[in-house]
Structure formats: structure tokens, C-alpha cells
Amino acid sequence: MANMWKSLLLVAIYVVASPVDADTLDVTKYLQPGHDLSQALATAWKEACASPGLSKLVIPGGTYRLGEVVLSGPCKGPVVLQVDATLVAPVNHNEIKGGGWVTVQNVDQFTLTGSGTFDGQGQYAWTKNDCSKTWNCLSLPINLRFHFITNSLINGITSLDSKQFHVNVLGCRNLTFQYLKITAPGDSPNTDGIHIGRSNGVNIFNVQIKTGDDCVSLGDGCQNVNITGVTCGPGHGISVGSLGKYPGEEPVSGITVKNCTLKNAMNGLRIKTWPASLRGTASNMHFEDIVMDNVGNPVIIDQQYCPWNQCKKNAPSLIKIQDVSFKNIRGTSSTPEVVKLACSSQFPCKNVQFGNIDLVYHGDKGPATTTCTNIRPAIFGNQNPPLCRDLA
């Protein structure tokens, strides 16, 4: 413990006004034994944000405590935050009041980079999560929240053991994630890797996600999202939705998932909407060149998504799903139902294409099967097993 406090006293956060004028702000004067980096980072951010040129903040290697931090703009110039340290969140979730441990908001041209780790210390908080039992469950803190940031890059860092979602994206434009590592146990509840809502132009490239819920989840209002080279598992797969639960949801359109690998995941590729839902649309979604390795339910359209059985399953979903394709999906399934297409009786799925599907089940529950309801998919190329037609 003494070494930790020594490290705290030696930590420096540097602000560089521009690549030419490398003035340095040493903020160690804000640190005292027993205190964390929260105030130091907030103070350095304020000065960097006020600089008209490029500003760079660096947290060098070491292990440091960090409380709840909100880094807000707008800023006068681009800001780079380089984290090479391990930053450790409070164990008690009640110490984080705002719903996010580290929040970056209302910033243009922001970069978060480095080899560092954001350790959410979620093990204690997970025991307080009862979302599997009750609809009105406790909302726990998110490791990293990016709200209303534009033309920005998140590169290289690691998110570990978040108390809830690892990364939450809201209202962003032209935001790229690349070479991240997101890690939590497979049984950690509601620890979605990257959740995106109401954002346009989000790219996720070459990200490794091991977690206890969806590796990537796309909520309402997602437009032009490109997911490429993601490795997922354990986790609940890559999901669009769930949609239709709340009033005022915005359309989902322009989703591309390509060259991804899912291994030992509970689900594969999912589009899910609530029964008895409010009206909405989800269109122009394409899944291509996906490898499944021991994945449950590899391909699902589920318009009767009803966790905890707290909805009206007898009322159809009012979300219109159309212009969807699944191409070159191959590998092994841990469940016999390798393709399940359960569309709405009120608005059957339209223009759904399947091409070159090769999914194998080696278990003892019978042959691999496919099921279709309220859908007539267009089929081309090889299909193993044979893809069902509409049986409703």
C-alpha cells in the first residue's frame, strides 16, 4: 500500500499546448496521500480544454485510484488523453453518483489512447444486480461513457470488470473504436461490451470482447455503424436491439457487421424487438463473413423478445424489419436450432436474404434445425442445414 501512495505522489499529467510548444503542466501538487487522481485529472482537463491548440494529457504507467470524473467540452482545440496506467474505480458503486465512472461529453476531435486499463472493480457490484429477477432493477455505473462527441478516436485501451456496461455511446458522430480489449467474466450481469444509441457513423475495428452480456449492442437511433474484425466470447453475441420498449425511439439503419469471430458465446447475430411494442423501423442491416465457434443460437431474428416474462407476448411487435442480409455465416453451434427467424405477425419481415450458410451442430439433441415465422427469406448459394421457408 505504501508503494501505491508513492506512485500516486510521482504521477504526472502533462498538458502539451501544441506539437511545437511542449509546455508541461505538472499536476502532482494536487495529489496528497489518501487522495486519488480525480481532481488532478479534472484540473488538467480544464486547462487543456481551454487551449486553442492541440493539447495532450498523459497518465504514465503505474496503478492509481480514480473516482468519478466528467470531462466536458466544448473545447477550444483537439484534446488527446493518453492513459498508460491502470486506473482503479471505487469498489462501492454508491460512490459513483452520475451513472458513469469516466464520462467524456460535448467534445469535438477527442482522442483516448494508450496501453492503460480502466479497472471498474465490478465484482462487488455484480452481487447487487438483480435484473434477471426484476424489471425495475438497480442501474450500476458504466466504465466509460462517450456522450455527444464528434470526429473522435478511442484506441488501444482496456476496459476491465465494469460494474455495468463497459462502454456507452450516446449522440455521437464520426467516432471510431479500434484495438480495444474489453474483459469481464461470462457470468457478470449486464456488462455489455460496447452499447451504442442515437449515434451516426460509429466504427468498431479489431476489438476483443469477453464479457457477460452482448459484446456489441445497438439501440434505437443507430445509423451507419460499421463493426469489423471483432472477436466476441464469452458473451451474448452481437445484437441489434432490443427495440420497441420506450416511446419516441428512432429508426435503426445502415448496420454492417463483417469479418467477425464469435467463440463460446451464448448467442450469435441477433435482431430483437419487444412484443406489444411501439412502432418503429430497423432496416438496411447486413452480416457477412462471420465465423461461429461453439455458439448458441447463431442467427436470430426475435420479435417476441421478452426477458423475465414481463411483457404481453400475445400482442405482436410493431417494429418493421426489412432489407437484411446474412452471407457467408459458417462454423459450429452449441444448440440444434442454428437459425431462428421469428418475425412479427403484424409486420412480417421483408426482403431478408440468406446466402452460403454452413452451421453444424454436433450435440445429442438431434439434427441441426432452422425455423421461420412470418418471413419468406430469399435464399441463394449453399445452405447447411436447408433454410426453412415461412411455416406460419
φ and ψ at residue 298, rounded to 5 degrees? -60, -40
Nearest Cα neighbor of 210 from 248, 181, 189 is: 181
Across the strands, what pairs with 335? none
234: cis peptide before it, omega within 30°? Answer: yes
Which residues have a Cβ under 8 Å from the Cβ of 113 and sit 6 or more positions away?
80, 81, 82, 83, 153, 154, 155, 156, 157
- Contact 244/213 with Cβ under 8 angstroms? no
Cα–Cα distance list, 232 to 95, 185, 211, 362 (Å): 31, 13, 8, 21
Verify whether residue 195 is a known catalytic residue.
no
Q: How many CA atoms lie within 13 A of 383 on its CB side?
A: 17
Q: Among the options 161, 220, 236, 302, which is catalytic?
A: 236
Verify whether residue 236 is a known catalytic residue.
yes
Which residues have a Cβ under 8 Å from the Cβ of 278 and sit 6 or more positions away?
244, 245, 246, 247, 249, 318
State the cell numbers at 155.
Answer: 484506441
User: Three-class SS of residue 289?
Assistant: strand
Q: Among the options 36, 213, 214, 302, which is catalytic?
A: 213
Give dist(CA 359, CA 381) in Å, integer.
Answer: 14
Which regions of 231-318 does DSSP assign to beta strands (E)? 231-232, 238-243, 252-263, 269-273, 280-295, 299-302
Give dist(CA 116, CA 383) in Å, integer.
Answer: 44
**Catalytic positions, written as ranges:** 213, 236
